[in-house]
Amino acid sequence: MNKLKKNKFGDVDLTKPHFGIYYGNNSSNDIYELIMVLSVAQTVDEMRLCLLVHDITYEQVIKEVQNEISYYLFGLKNPDPIGYLIYHCQTLANAYSNVRFSFVQKIHKNNILYYFNARPKQLNIYNDSFTTAFQRRYFELSVDQIYELAIGRDIQGRAANYNKDLYDIYEIIFFKLIQIDNLEIIETPTIVEFSKWLSKLKVLDFCNILNYLNKVKLVNFADVERLLKLYHLNARLHCGTWISI
């Protein structure tokens, strides 16, 4: 079987048609994680992969994902491999596989949250010093909250600023960042949809998004504490837990 070689990796424009490729353990109901994006081109040879995870622990997962991509693009020897892969995205075989493909025709209301999760990963800024600082502040804040719970302090008072902070980051992402990234979105998600999406983010992904917003000068480091408090409270409202790691 032919495999995608190293020179097949490259930039993928997330605003144009592409595939999002996820990995999870279907038998254990794992949450599927976005591992790669694959561009759509005139020919298979012109298609490019962009890796979105950069941890050595993903080495075996990356190999499995690459083998799956190779199978559909080369192994099946289909006369229209790109068209078949688009079709495969809608099949039960895809839904029950450890490696799942999702075809993204364009960015719109229903998948714009996917874009704002994938774009920071694509820029590979997980190891940035600001992300590290975000994480450190997160865990400091977590310890403070555990202490307050233990001694029975009233932490519900923090909800007073919840709506303001939620609307603040909503406006930053869906009005200001859209302009910077040159996205044309006719209709944005509702604030409730955004709140639910935010509650499902891992803390590292949320810190990475904050870092992305910092890089484009829409969030200052001084904003981090209140936004992390928002993250905590939002997770509690939706998941019934105060700490979400």
Model confidence pLDDT, tens digit, residues 138-165: 666 665 555 455 445 545 556 668 889 9
Token couple for 179? 């302009």
- d(Cα 46, Cα 211) in Å, to the nearest integer? 31
- d(Cα 225, Cα 55) in Å, to the nearest integer? 27
Model confidence pLDDT, tens digit, residues 89-108: 999 999 999 999 999 999 88
Q: How confident is the model at residue 128 (pLDDT cuts 50, 70, 90)?
A: low
Q: How big is the CA angle at 204 (ends 94 and 9), to the nearest 5 degrees? A: 55
Q: How big is the CA angle at 123 (ends 117 and 127), to the nearest 5 degrees? A: 95
**Domain boundary assignment for the chain:** 6-104, 112-239
Q: Length of the chain in residues, anyone?
A: 245
What are the residue ranges of helices labelled H in the chain? 59-70, 81-88, 92-95, 112-122, 129-150, 162-171, 178-180, 191-200, 203-215, 224-239
Closest CA to 182 of 96, 123, 106, 114: 106
Model confidence pLDDT, tens digit, residues 179-195: 998 888 888 889 999 99
DSSP string, 10-51: ----TTSSEEEEEE--GGGTPPPEEEEEEE--SSGGG--EEE
CA 228, chain centre distance (Å): 17
Going 213 to 214 to 218 to 221, the CA torsion angle's sign is: positive
Q: What is the end-to-end Cα distance of the chain in Å, rounded?
A: 40
